[in-house]
């Protein structure tokens, strides 16, 4: 089994990766906020299949949390994460602390924005969220300098924001999207699922089922997008969710037209006091 190396500073991380590069190794990267579950580990395995060395970062990024969000209570399980990555044979764990990663005060830290794409859907509900995501990912890319990086499609809008940033800023990194990893009941895996009570967890898969039902309607030829969205919101609300949004989009997240045949259905909804669930599915109709 590969011995897991662990670094906490930019200098030692770069030094280790530079050594691998001198040996001709291809570097794969999976950035995470830790509290790793099977969804994260599937990203790691995808990177391992495409690279000689795989780096995983664990860093709970304060810039992507709003003032009333769960930054302080976000689950931090570094010991368990370290054990899981060791078991998988990951080469390097980069786990910096905030002071070393962002040496300036948060309000003085340089930031990267992705206009338009970062302002809709989750970006409208969580102002500044995608600026925080783009900033931390750009910084990590500069530190790790990977050949490829893997991101899950559960955070579909985030994936597109990162792809846009990489394209606009000419990062030499191939961005690979990985399919949503689900529980047997369809619930998309997420670190925040552990906030759910047993009763809420039993209800949570309705979010996925609602998207699937709307997808079936699109495949059957319906194109009354606003009506379909309203039907989905009503279904969720009647089941005790507090819908944030439910939206039918094209795969590039532009509004759809009746002539379109490929769609991405996306939703975010609160369940219980503190759990915001997100999910999405692709739909292609004939």
54-77 pLDDT, tens digit each: 999 999 999 999 998 999 999 999
Q: Is the pLDDT of residue 200 over 70?
A: yes
The alpha carbon of 81 is separated from its chain's Cα centroid by a whole number of angstroms, namely 17
Say whether pTM exceeds 0.75.
Answer: yes
- Residues of the chain with pLDDT > 70, as a percent, come to 99
pLDDT confidence tier of residue 83, bands split at 50, 70 and 90: very high
37 is catalytic: no
Q: Is the pLDDT of residue 3 over 90?
A: no
pLDDT confidence tier of residue 34, bands split at 50, 70 and 90: very high
Q: Is the pLDDT of residue 1 over 70?
A: no
Residue 55 vs residues 86, 135, 169, 173: alpha-carbon distances, Å: 12, 19, 22, 14
Lay out the sheet containing 262-271: strands in order across: 242-249, 262-271, 275-284
CA atoms within 13 Å, Cβ hemisphere of 144:
32
Kindly name the residue from 16, 28, 32, 40 that is annotated as catalytic.
40
CB 279 within 8 A of CB 267: yes
| DSSP label of 182 | B
Q: Domains in the chain and their CATH numbers? A: 7-178 (3.40.50.620), 191-281 (3.30.1300.10)
CB 256 within 8 A of CB 225: yes
Would you state the pLDDT for residue 286? Answer: 81
Lay out the sheet containing 5-7: strands in order across: 5-7, 92-94, 53-58, 27-32, 148-152, 174-178
Return the structure tokens found at 30. 């999976």
Q: Is the pLDDT of residue 155 over 90?
A: yes
- Residues of the chain with pLDDT > 90, as a percent, come to 98
Burial degree of 34 (CB within 10 A; 0-12, 13-18, 19+): buried
Query: If you average pLDDT over residues 24-52, what whole number do you get?
Result: 98
């Amino acid at each position: 089994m590969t011995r897991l190396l662990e670094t906490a500073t930019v200098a030692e991380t770069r030094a280790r990766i530079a050594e691998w590069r001198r040996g001709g190794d291809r570097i794969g990267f999976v950035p995470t906020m830790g509290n790793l579950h099977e969804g994260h580990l599937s990203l790691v395995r995808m990177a391992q299949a495409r690279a000689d060395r795989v780096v995983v970062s664990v860093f709970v990024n304060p810039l992507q949390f709003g003032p009333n969000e769960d930054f302080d209570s976000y689950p931090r399980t570094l010991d368990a994460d370290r054990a899981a990555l060791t078991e998988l044979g990951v080469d390097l764990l980069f786990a910096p602390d905030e002071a070393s990663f962002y040496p300036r005060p948060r309000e003085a830290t340089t930031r990267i924005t992705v206009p338009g794409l970062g302002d809709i859907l989750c970006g409208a509900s969580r102002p500044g969220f995608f600026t925080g995501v783009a900033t931390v990912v750009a910084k990590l890319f500069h530190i790790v300098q990977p050949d490829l990086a893997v991101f899950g499609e559960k955070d579909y809008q985030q994936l597109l924001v990162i792809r846009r940033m990489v394209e606009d800023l000419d990062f030499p990194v191939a961005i690979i999207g990985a399919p949503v990893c689900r529980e047997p009941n369809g619930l998309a895996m997420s670190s925040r699922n552990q906030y759910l009570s047993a009763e809420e967890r039993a209800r949570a898969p309705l979010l996925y089922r609602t998207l699937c039902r709307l997808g079936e309607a699109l495949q059957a030829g319906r194109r009354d997008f606003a009506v379909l969205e309203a039907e989905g919101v009503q279904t969720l609300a009647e089941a005790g969710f507090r819908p944030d949004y439910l939206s039918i989009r094209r795969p590039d997240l532009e509004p759809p037209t009746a002539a379109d045949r490929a769609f991405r259905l996306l939703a975010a909804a609160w369940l219980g006091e503190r759990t915001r669930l997100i999910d999405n599915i692709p739909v292609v109709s004939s």
